[in-house]
Amino acid sequence: MARSALSVFVAVASASYVAAQVPTFPATPLASLSFAYPSQIPYKAVPDSYVRGTQTGYNICNSTTENQQSLCQTAFVNSISDFCVFAPATANSTIGDTEGEEVIWCTKKGHGGRLIPDGTITGVQVLNNNNYMQIVAFMNQVNININSQDFGGELDPHGQDLNGNPMGGLLYSTHFSSDSTTVQQIHEWNMFVGGNVTAAKICNPSGSNPAGFCQHTLDRIGVAYNMPNNAQNNIFEVCDSDAMDIPGVYTLNGQTLSYSQPAESLGPISTMPYTPRIPSSSNCQTFQSSALYTDLVSVSAPTPTGASTSTPTPSGKSGSSGTTGTRTSSGSPASSTSGSNGAGTITVSLFSSILGVAFSVAFLA
C-alpha cells in the first residue's frame, strides 16, 4: 500500500514537473513565420516563454511608440537614407549581453522606433544586386547605447533557440518589390553591430539563394568574410555590385570547399584557409550625409551614463582587459582602420591581439 501510494505520488509529481517546463524550441522558427505588413503584424512575434525568456519589446510600432525609449523590434532596411539598426535599449550595453533584446534605431521617422542621433553614421556603402542589398556603415556606437569598446556580434532571425536575435525581431523592406513601395517581409537577413561599424545584408526573397547569401553561421569571422565591401569613412555611396561568393564557400586547388566555424570552446580562430573576394562594383553614386539624414537633425546623442553633463564623450577605460572586446556568443571582430589615403576602410581584425587576449581572458574566467 505504502509503496504504490509512493509511486502514484512520484508519477504525479513528475507529470506536473514536465507540464511546468518551458519548451526549448518554438513550433515554428521565427525565420519561417510570415506576417504581411502591416495587417498581420502581431504585438509580439515570439509570444511564448522559451528558454531565454519572452520577447522584451514588441512588433506593432507606430507614432505612439516612436520615441527614444521605444522597444520596437520591427526593422526596416530600405535604402541608404532609410534603414534601421538593431541595438541596445539601455546605454553602455554590449551586444553580447543584449543580443536577445535589441530594439530598432532608424535613420528615418515613420517606423515607430528610436532615431539614430545626428552625426552617428559617418560613412556608408550600399552594394546592390539581384540577390541582396548590403549596407555597411561606420558609426559612433556609443550614440546607440553600445559600450565604446565592444566589438559586438551578429544578429539574425535564427539564434540558438530559433527565436532570433533579437528574439521576435522582424525585418521588412520595400527594396526588392517591383514598385519600390510595397513592403515585403525579409526572412533571411543578418547584421553585424559593434567595433563602430554596422553591416546589414538583406536577401531578396525572390533571389537565387537567400539563405546562402545571408548565411548566419559564420558570426565569428566577421564583416570581411560575411559582407565583403570597400566602404570608406566619410563617403556615402550606393553602388551596383556583383554578388559575393556564398559566405564560407571558397576554391582551393580547383576544388570548391565549404568553411565551417570551429566551436568556441576550441579557442580563438587564428587562421583561415581563404581570403574573401570583394565583388566588383560599378555605377557608384555619392551623397552628402546632410541630404540623406534630414530627419535626424534635431536628434542628439544621449548623455553617457555616469558621465557629467559637461563631458560629451565617455572617459577612457581603466585598462582592465575585461572591458575590451567583450566575448560574445556571436563575437564579430570587425573594426575600422585607417588606409593610406587617410580614409578608414572596414576590414576585419580577425587576428587582432586585443581580441585574442580578451577571448583568452574570457575563457579563463
Site for ligand NAG in 90-129 (CB under 6 A): 92
Reference 81, options 301, 291, 300, 299; nearest CA is 291
Q: How far is the CB of 57 from ligand NAG (least distance, A)?
A: 9
CB nearer ligand NAG, residue 206 or residue 337: 337
Reference 210, options 250, 165, 171; nearest CA is 171
312 touches ligand NAG (CB under 6 A)? no
279 touches ligand NAG (CB under 6 A)? no
Stretch that binds ligand NAG, among 54-62, 102-110, 180-188, 289-297 (CB under 6 A): 54-62
212 touches ligand NAG (CB under 6 A)? no
164 to 203: interface string for ligand NAG, x by CB under 6 A? -------------------------------xx-------
CB nearer ligand NAG, residue 59 or residue 128: 59
Among 307, 343, 357, 361, binds ligand NAG (CB under 6 A): 307
Q: Give the gyration radius of the chain's Cα atoms.
A: 22
C-alpha pair distances (Å), 20 with each of 11, 27, 49: 14, 17, 11
Give yes or no for a contact between 235 and 286, defined as CB atoms under 8 angstroms apart.
Answer: yes
CA 47 to chain centre: 21
Reference 84, options 116, 118, 124, 119; nearest CA is 116
149 touches ligand NAG (CB under 6 A)? yes
Query: Concatenated DSSP letters for 129-175?
Result: -SSEEEEEEEE-GGGGTB-TT---EEEBS--TTSSTBTTT-EEEEST
Site for ligand NAG in 245-264 (CB under 6 A): none
Interface with ligand NAG (CB under 6 A), residue total 21
Among 62, 256, 294, 321, binds ligand NAG (CB under 6 A): 62
CB nearer ligand NAG, residue 254 or residue 319: 319
Q: How far is the CB of 283 from ligand NAG (least distance, A)?
A: 31
Stretch that binds ligand NAG, among 62-70, 78-86, 216-224, 270-278 (CB under 6 A): 62-70
Query: Concatenated DSSP letters for 31-96?
Result: GG----TTTT--S-SS-S-BTTB--SSBS---TTT-STT--B-EEEEEETTEEEEEE-SSTTB-HH
Tell me which residue has cell 579557442: 267
Q: How far is the CB of 24 from ligand NAG (least distance, A)?
A: 27
12 to 51: interface string for ligand NAG, x by CB under 6 A? -------------------------------x--------
Contacts (Cβ under 8 Å, ≥6 apart) of 142 = 92, 148, 301, 304, 313, 314
CB nearer ligand NAG, residue 7 or residue 64: 64
Helix H or strand E encompassing 216: none
Q: How far is the CB of 204 from ligand NAG (least distance, A)?
A: 29
226 touches ligand NAG (CB under 6 A)? no
Distance, in Å, from the CA atom of 91 to the CA atom of 278, rounded to the nearest integer, reads 34
Q: How far is the CB of 187 from ligand NAG (least distance, A)?
A: 22
Give yes or no for a contact between 350 and 331, defined as CB atoms under 8 angstroms apart.
Answer: no
Q: How far is the CB of 93 from ligand NAG (least distance, A)?
A: 8
Reference 43, options 71, 85, 84; nearest CA is 71
Residues of this chain that bind ligand NAG (CB under 6 A): 43, 58, 60, 62, 64-65, 92, 147-151, 195-196, 304-307, 314, 323, 335
